[in-house]
Amino acid sequence: MRNYRLDVQPIAGSMGAEIFGVDLAEDLGDETFEDIHQTILTHGAIFFRDQDITPAQQMTFAKRWGEVHLHPHMPCLEGHPGIIEIVKKEDDTVAFGGNWHTDQMFTDTPARYTMLYAKQVPQAVGDTMYANLYQAYDALSDGMKDMIAGLRTINQYDKKKKRPAAMTPTEMDVPAPEVEHPLVRVHPETGQKALYISYAGITRRIAGMTEEESRPILDYLLNHAIRPEFTCRFRWQVGSLALWDNRRALHFPINDYNGHRRVMHRITIVGERTN
């Protein structure tokens, strides 16, 4: 791994690393960017502290990673298409994306990376957890690996869990399309196998099975994937920026900050079609 130019400090044994000595407000040279790229391939999620960047500078960094995704159901920050401003107000009790999931799994080309930048956060609460889906797959028994090899899942966006402001009641009544993905996904850059699954509100069932038949298998695999030894936990500060690889990691925002306001700027990068 060519990260000798970077100060990389792992945050847990399973995955995740903080990178120090990089100012994302500046243009990154190709060698520095490649070192960062190799670091996320190794650690699955990377974190930068004390960044002071504008939406335009965040977008410039995001575009180094690929095509920016435009969410079909969420409005963007005014003047900055592709940046979603996620605000949890003091009187909100539900957190955005408050389940274990991988982003945009309800699309044909689910997100490659997600970038989240902290604009306003309460102290000591609101951490985000991540789970290493490589390790989760590797730890399965040979019998379970044989059983799930070749299985595909049916995934669908749940429009009614929390109606996005941009959606009309008529749009709400139209069912979201169902999308198939492999239950075991081969990472297109590393060649490693990973479980590929989200919570029940997205990953509905196994193709060719009913939801009732599928649920015990999917629940087991999801609960297995989020075992403590496969996870890391990141504590946010104003100016923190996280970037994670949705092709090999689940994430879960902890909703333990009711009564506090939090503002985050999120960008997702379009991924590849799964095999």
The single residue of 205, 248, 265, 266 carrying the catalytic annotation is 266
Q: Catalytic pick from 101, 205, 247, 262? A: 101
User: 103, 185, 245, 247: which is the annotated catalytic residue?
Assistant: 103
Whether pTM exceeds 0.85: yes
Burial 59-95 (b: 16+ CB within 10 A, else e): bebbeebeebbebebeebbeebebbbbbebeeebeeb
Q: Is 101 a catalytic residue?
A: yes
For residues 136 and 224, what is the distance between their CA atoms, to the nearest angstrom? 7
Bridge partner list, 181:
153
Distance CA(168)–CA(36), nearest Å, equals 41
pLDDT in tens for each of the 275 residues of the chain? 444 478 999 999 999 999 999 999 999 999 999 999 999 999 999 999 999 999 999 999 999 999 998 876 678 888 888 999 999 999 988 877 789 999 999 999 999 999 999 999 999 899 999 999 999 999 999 999 999 999 999 999 875 655 445 545 555 556 788 999 999 999 999 999 999 999 999 999 999 999 999 999 999 999 999 999 999 999 999 999 999 999 999 999 999 999 999 999 999 999 999 97
Task: Specify the pairing of strand 17-20 against strand 7-10.
Answer: antiparallel
Instruction: Name the catalytic one among 43, 251, 262, 265.
Output: 251
What phi and psi, each to the nearest 5 degrees, are found at residue 41? -65, -35
The CA radius of gyration of the chain, in Å to the nearest whole number, is 18
**Residue 127 known to be catalytic:** no
Is position 266 annotated as part of the catalytic site? yes
For 7-269, CATH number? 3.60.130.10
Neighbours of 273 (CB within 10 A): 10
User: Would you list the domain boundaries of the chain?
Assistant: 7-269
pLDDT score for 2: 45
Longest dimension (CA), the chain: 54
